[in-house]
Amino acid sequence: MRAIHPFHGGVHLAEHKTESTGTAIGWMSLLPRYVVPLSQHIGQPAIPVVKPGDRVLRGQMIGRPTGTISTAVHAPTSGIVSAVEMHPVAHPSGLTGLCVVIESDGADRAVEMSGIDWRNLDPAEVQAHVRDLGLAGLGGAVFPSAIKLQRGNAARIPTLILNGSECEPWITCDDMLMRERADATLRGAAMMRHLLGADTVLVGIEDNKPQAIAAMTEAARQAPFPVEIVAVPTLYPSGGAKQLTRLLTGLDNPTGKLSTEIGVQVFNVGTAYSMYRALELGEPMISRVVTVTGHVPRPGNFEARIGTPLRDLLAAAGGDLPGTTGHIIGGPMMGFDLDDARAPVVKAVNCIIAKRVEQFPPAAPAMPCIRCGQCAQACPAELQPFELYWYAKAKDFEKTRRYNLFDCIECGCCSYVCPSHIPLVDYYRFAKSEIRAHELDAQASQAARERHDFRTFRLEREKREKAEKLAQKATTRLDSGAVAEDDPAAAKKKAILQAAIERAAKAKVATTPQNTDNLSPTVQREIDAIEARRQAAPDDAAATGRQPTEAP
């Protein structure tokens, strides 16, 4: 029996799990229309590779990964792409995102899918495969899985943890997945174990899911590698990656470091299951289990294709009951309010809760912080939430950073226990996004500075070069000899010129009067007379330019 290392803080919450665990995972009938966002993961959005009018098959790649942190997007069914356009998406901002809209043809024909020999292939090749099949973490952060399967600088990652805690109230998709598909989940874990070179595989499950624990224990007994199924005490947020790591191994994640640096990698159980589908069957991530619960007639879990409009998903559970005041995507602690039910299911959506006012009353008005310190006692990241709140409220972001704001996992324990009902996490999210934006601005301004400096340098260089050229021209004209010595081309030119001048001089000297032999005395006398005149007035001739040609 593995020793449990409790983490600091945490809160006990009303679970509301049984509402949606009464029925098996349901299958949804094929819908006429799917809307697949191209940005479903953390990192660079996928680039669309289809255009309106294209015919696509189920599992066909419609968005190509780009950049380091990215993953592909695939068609959930066969049909025709009717648009690639901005469409409402499930996001706290309520903004629209670029989506591929597919009108299904009802045939649901698939591309040819086949598994790969992951045991013998090069790990880099398997990772590329995982990236092309669109795998991203299904626990909520949707980080591209291919990157998490890299060992980095380490020779191997000794510990693989499967996260089946599912600590948030209402959500039961991982619970149902483990109950029904324990065997396949552990097969996915085998692949992860192989790629990471892990020797210890731990599955952490909160002890409020006895059936999931039993199913996984049974599957673990038959697994060809050692797996330890560990029941962890039910205490929110035991499903946080850092908290679960501490619970199972006693290791703490140092500030600003990745868990792989302490030899641990954590994956959600749903991701492990998708990994099995991807590598063993060649199926891309085109569906996931989603919990539909709250104020609906038949709450339960559904295997929903990515791109299923959320209102259709709600309809599968019987639709909203009268008195529904809104919907939460995710759980009540970390989720956000849905703006538009036309938004589709994406890889990040694990749960949708229909709210009614008795269960989800409007937030009480916030009152001043009395510095009671309850938030610090509840904080699982061992931060001082009241100090963070103080500085975030004052927009003193440097101070919030010094108080380790980025260790905050936004679990909401502090807001939950706050007797003044201060929406603390909202302040931390605000501060975090301001700091991130500021960092991006700083990068942009550094780039602008470099470009500006280079431009200044270039302009000065051009000016200098122009001045030098002018100066050179001037000196060449004034003093050709001085320049000729250090310039072979000019020297050559000068030599040619010199030779020509000399030739001309020689020719001039060599010119002698012709036809002077055998002259008659009269002609000779005439010539003499002409010569005498020429001698007498050479300056006049030169001045007037006239040739002394007239005969006497």
Q: Applying CB under 8 A, which residues contact other proteins?
A: 39, 45, 89, 91-93, 95, 97, 365-366, 395, 423, 426-427, 429-430, 432-434, 437-438, 441, 444-449, 451-452, 454-455
Distance CA 221, CA 369 (A): 52
| Cα 84 from Cα 58, distance rounded (Å) | 17
Omega before 237 within 30 of 0, i.e. cis:
yes
Is the torsion defined by CA of 537, 539, 543, 548 positive or negative?
Answer: positive
Shorter beta-carbon distance to other proteins: residue 136 or 220: 136
Question: Residue 365 CB, nearest distance to other proteins (Å)?
Answer: 6
Task: Quote the least distance from Cβ 404 to other proteins, whole Å.
Answer: 18
Nearest residue (CB) to other proteins, 451 versus 534:
451
> Helices 173-196 and 123-132 sit at what angle, rounded to 10 degrees?
150
- In whole angstroms, the minimum distance from the beta carbon of 400 to other proteins comes to 13
SS3 361: coil
Q: Which residue is associated with the tokens 């994406």?
A: 346
Q: How far is the CB of 396 from other proteins (least distance, A)?
A: 9
Residue 196: exposure state from Cβ atoms within 10 A (0-12, 13-18, ≥19): buried
Q: Are 295 and 323 in contact, with CB atoms under 8 Å apart? A: yes
Closest to other proteins by CB, 23 vs 66, is 66
Smallest distance from other proteins to CB 142, Å: 13
Rounded Cα–Cα distance for residues 263 and 419 (Å): 39
Question: In this complex, which beta carbon is closest to other proteins, that of residue 327 or of residue 432?
Answer: 432
Of the candidates 104, 100, 103, 41, the one whose C-alpha atom is nearest the C-alpha of residue 72 is 41
d(CA 165, CA 250) in angstroms, rounded, equals 16
Give 90 or 126: the residue with its C-beta nearer to other proteins.
90
* Rounded CA separation 204/231 (Å): 6
Q: Please, is 106 exposed, middle or buried when counting C-beta atoms within 10 Å of its C-beta (0-12, 13-18, 19+)?
A: exposed
**Smallest separation (angstroms) from other proteins to the CB of 449:** 4
Nearer to other proteins, 129 or 432 (CB): 432
Q: Nearer to other proteins by C-beta: 280 or 434?
A: 434
Residue 164: CB minimum distance to other proteins, A: 30
Please state, in angstroms and rounded to a whole number, the distance separating the CA atoms of residues 26 and 267: 24
In the complex, the smallest distance separating the C-beta of residue 359 from other proteins, rounded to whole angstroms, is 21
Whole-number minimum distance, CB 121 to other proteins, in Å?
A: 34
Q: Of 65 and 299, which CB lies nearer to other proteins in the complex structure? A: 65
Return the half-sphere exposure (C-beta side, CA atoms, 13 A cut-off) of residue 364.
10
Cβ-based nearer residue to other proteins, 15 or 426: 426
- Do residues 395 and 433 make contact, with C-beta atoms less than 8 angstroms apart? no
